[in-house]
Structure 1
Amino acid sequence: MTVYVDADACPVKAEALRVAERHRADLVYVANGGIRPVDHPLVRMVYVPEGPDEADKWIADHAGPGDVVVTADIPLAAKAVAAGARVLSHTGEGFTPANIGQKLATRDLMADLRAADPFRQGGGKSFGKADRSRFLDALDRELSACARG
């Protein structure tokens, strides 16, 4: 049971460690630099080469059944779901075989809309305490489910 965290710009790295400790799960932070090493017996730091989607490729190649992937990247979530891993966003939203197709389609549609209107500004939501709490609960549930098999 391993938790893989797409660690570049992930706001819940510390929370993932807290939950992993409670479940005695291995935790792998994957990044292409810019994050501080974590000195903890459950944590492994993986630094991938600079380049687009290098961390995503590494996670997709290593995650599988019995693992949990934490990412906001929809294409990575789709690959991890296809590999049999459980997948969560940093807000605690789960990506599953039932919803990943819709998530990919929405992502692609929004990318097309942004490309068609260069003046369109981002509309991202802020990340708050409620999101952090939902993530903690969701990761705890997913690790419990993994432990049950």
Structure 2
Amino acid sequence: MRVDSVFAGLNKKGDFVMTAVLTKSLYCQALLQIAVGAPVAKLPSNSGFDIAQTVWQTALEKAIPDQIAQIRHVCLAGDESWRLHVAEISDRVTCHVHEDGYEVYEIVSGSGTLYSGPSAKSSTGARLLSRHSLQVTSGDVFIVPEGYAHQLVKRGDAPLVIIFACPDSHLAEDRIVLADICEEHPKLFVDADALPGAARDILFRAAQRVKITTHFVANKPLRMPDSEYISFELAGQGFDVADARIVELVSAGDIVVTADIPLAAAVVEKGALAVDPRGELYSDENIKERLFVRDFMDTLRKSGATTGGPPPYGIKDSRAFAAQL
């Protein structure tokens, strides 16, 4: 859906209007941020649909269940190209993605967490490339762009009610269902630039067997298998750019595969674990010692001493890595 058609729908007389604060420039700014893969963000305050509470409450009494989305909703106004709905979420919306057209949401009651992220087509429909979370509450407005998987989960005891605008196709043929993305399972991040091929194959198999989200980051293109659990990100060129990106993405409880000691130290500091492709586990108990040895050896090399390098990666290393993983 073109941006112009969004505003034509929003401003169509007899349907509904946005408050004056939500101008076309604000929409364009939000969509530009999303276009470069940025997380879904809240729009400025007072940007809602300006629908009176008595109106949506009365309409909600006639809401019907949507068995796919696991919500109750009813149409307020609009036509097939752009329609306004009010919906109540008892627990969570089924995670899904639309290939064509944006959606606009306003929280009018309660609070929740929006999980979302860009997706790509796969043999099973679609797979998530990365995931972000956003805490939302009554009065918040946000845009979910086409191609972004999204799942809204209720938080707290108050009823979670939303008003959303979308084309009719989003409630019919243009709705691809994905597995839940709201669960806080550990994720696996891989520093893939110098990763041995044998270790990479082990990670491919582990991701499928354990069903763990595995995200490879490198500054050169790498071939990845078609899997809903495996994704790849091409980091920008430059010293330690890929490492910095992994540190940005990782959270406490996640696992990072890397042979880079400073990167291992950085992710351990954030509460994650790091595993060397040769099978050594880095944690709070040993990372300071490993970092000291690394810095000491680096000082020796800079002084002209010959320290040698690690031996070639072999079967013993890959077995140790698989066992540790």
Quick check: TM above 0.5? Answer: yes
* 2:308 is the alignment partner of 1:122: yes
Moved over 3 A (4+): none
Q: Say whether the 8 Å CA contact 2:190–2:215 is kept in structure 1.
A: yes
Question: How far did 1:38 drift?
Answer: 3.4
Aligned residues: 138
* 2:317 is the alignment partner of 1:131: yes
* 2:259 is the alignment partner of 1:72: yes
Question: How far did 1:19 drift?
Answer: 1.2
Question: How far did 1:8 drift?
Answer: 0.5
The structure richer in strand per residue is 2
Q: Say whether the 8 Å CA contact 1:92–1:135 is kept in structure 2.
A: yes
Q: Say whether the 8 Å CA contact 2:300–2:307 is kept in structure 1.
A: no
Percent identity reads: 36
Q: Say whether the 8 Å CA contact 1:38–1:45 is kept in structure 2.
A: no
Structure with the larger RCO, 1 or 2 (CA within 8 Å, 6+ apart): 1
Who is 2:195 aligned against?
A: 10
Structure 1 SS opposite 2:217: strand
Report the Cα distance in structure 2 between the residues aligned to 1:109 and 1:57, rounded to whole angstroms. Answer: 23
Report the Cα distance in structure 1 between the residues aligned to 2:206 and 2:225, rounded to whole angstroms. Answer: 15
The structure richer in helix per residue is 1
Q: Say whether the 8 Å CA contact 2:273–2:282 is kept in structure 1.
A: yes
Structure 2: unaligned runs, 5 residues or longer: 1-185
CA deviations over 1:22-50 (Å, ceiling 9, x no partner): 11101100001142243222111111100
Report the Cα distance in structure 2 between the residues aligned to 1:20 and 1:36, rounded to whole angstroms. Answer: 15
Q: Say whether the 8 Å CA contact 1:8–1:35 is kept in structure 2.
A: no
Structure 1 SS opposite 2:319: helix
Q: Say whether the 8 Å CA contact 1:32–1:49 is kept in structure 2.
A: yes
Larger radius of gyration: 2
Question: How far did 1:121 drift?
Answer: 5.8
Structure 1: unaligned runs, 5 residues or longer: 140-149
- The letter of the residue matching 1:49 is G
Question: How far did 1:127 drift?
Answer: 1.2
Who is 1:95 aligned against?
A: 282
Structure 2 SS opposite 1:28: strand
Question: How far did 1:52 drift?
Answer: 0.4
CA deviations over 1:32-88 (Å, ceiling 9, x no partner): 114224322211111110000011001011112221100000000001101111110
Superposition TM-score, scaled by structure 2 size: 0.41
Report the Cα distance in structure 1 between the residues aligned to 2:225 and 2:194, rounded to whole angstroms. Answer: 16
Report the Cα distance in structure 2 between the residues aligned to 1:108 and 1:66, rounded to whole angstroms. Answer: 26
Report the Cα distance in structure 2 between the residues aligned to 1:112 and 1:42, rounded to whole angstroms. Answer: 40
